[in-house]
Amino acid sequence: MEQGEAAPPPGGSEEEEDDLGYRLFPDRNKKQQSFLVRSLFTFHNKCQLMLRMTLNTNPYAQLLLEAMKQSGCTVFNDRHFSCENCDGCVSGGFDSATSQIVLCQNNIRQQSHMNRVVTHELIHAFDHCRAHVDWFKNVKHLACSEIRAANLSGDCTLMNEIARFKFGLKGHHQTCVRDRAIRSILAVRKVSKETAEKAVDEVFDACFNDLEPFGRIPHSKTDAKRAYRDFQNRDRYNANL
């Protein structure tokens, strides 16, 4: 199973870290392995290569990087991304305490998956950059970011859903976004399913329709490229409106 979700801050008691999903990222705050061990016995190098490919060529990621730069949060590969081993069922996370996107090198094996995870986590980072998101204490804030990430990253395309054996057509995208947001909340917060569902339902309309910085739901790279073009032309748009 794959998920991208917000990761907890370092420090705190073990119980607090478990409450915040820290257990999913056991390598956070551990001393980094030696270069040789990392290169020979982990997928670290492959993760780094795929990440570089995504950041250089994927229009979803390029738009998000540009939007974050315009918002004052330039993303640097070495500082804001970290390839680590994670728990078996997670693909990545955003650690707001260190302003880092964690990529699970042991769970991301394909370039398309890397594209999607990077986009998903960059949306969390973008929200963190532009708004006062209370990741740890406000479940609605977390729910909103998860709804946006599932909606805009391509997590819920028809093909991805079919691969998960989830079948539906009319409006199924929204069902998928809702379910994945709930799943992500439950993975990183010790809240009941009812609490997670209630939070998602309360913010769903507002957050599903918040399409920043894309301006549209990008269903393909063509849509993402178009959205990037519109983003670059936004000054003209605003001036002539």
Partner 1 sequence: MARAGRGETHPLPHAGEGAQSSGVGHDLRGLAAPVEPGPPRPCEDYRWEWKHCRGLRHAFHHYYAHGELPACDRWRDDYEACRAWERGRAAAAQEALCKSERARVMEKQKYPPVWTFRKSPPPDWYIPLDQDKPS
Return d(Cα 120, Cα 27) in angstroms, integer.
21
Q: Does 141 bind partner 1 (CB under 8 A)?
A: yes
Q: Does 89 bind partner 1 (CB under 8 A)?
A: no
By beta-carbon proximity to partner 1, the closer residue of 110 and 132 is 132
By beta-carbon proximity to partner 1, the closer residue of 34 and 41 is 34
Structure tokens belonging to residue 2? 């794959």
Return d(Cα 92, Cα 107) in angstroms, integer.
9
Angle at which helix 111-130 crosses helix 59-70, to 10 degrees, equals: 20
Q: Which of 121, 146, 161, 197 is catalytic?
A: 121
Q: Does 219 bind partner 1 (CB under 8 A)?
A: yes
> Is 16 labeled as catalytic in the residue annotation?
no
Return d(Cα 209, Cα 113) in angstroms, integer.
25
Q: What secondary structure letter does DSSP report for 22?
A: G
Contact letters for partner 1, residues 56-85 (x by CB under 8 A): ----------x--xxxxxx----x------
Q: Does 133 bind partner 1 (CB under 8 A)?
A: yes
Return d(Cα 6, Cα 121) in angstroms, integer.
8
Stretch that binds partner 1, among 15-23, 115-123, 170-178, 179-187 (CB under 8 A): 170-178
Q: Does 13 bind partner 1 (CB under 8 A)?
A: no
Q: What secondary structure letter does DSSP report for 24?
A: G
- Return all residues near 239 (Cβ < 8 A) that are at least 6 apart: none
By annotation, the residues acting in catalysis are 121
Q: Which residues bind partner 1 (CB under 8 A)?
A: 10-11, 29, 66, 69-74, 79, 97-100, 127-134, 140-141, 144, 158, 169-174, 203, 205-207, 209-213, 215-217, 219-220, 226-227, 230-241
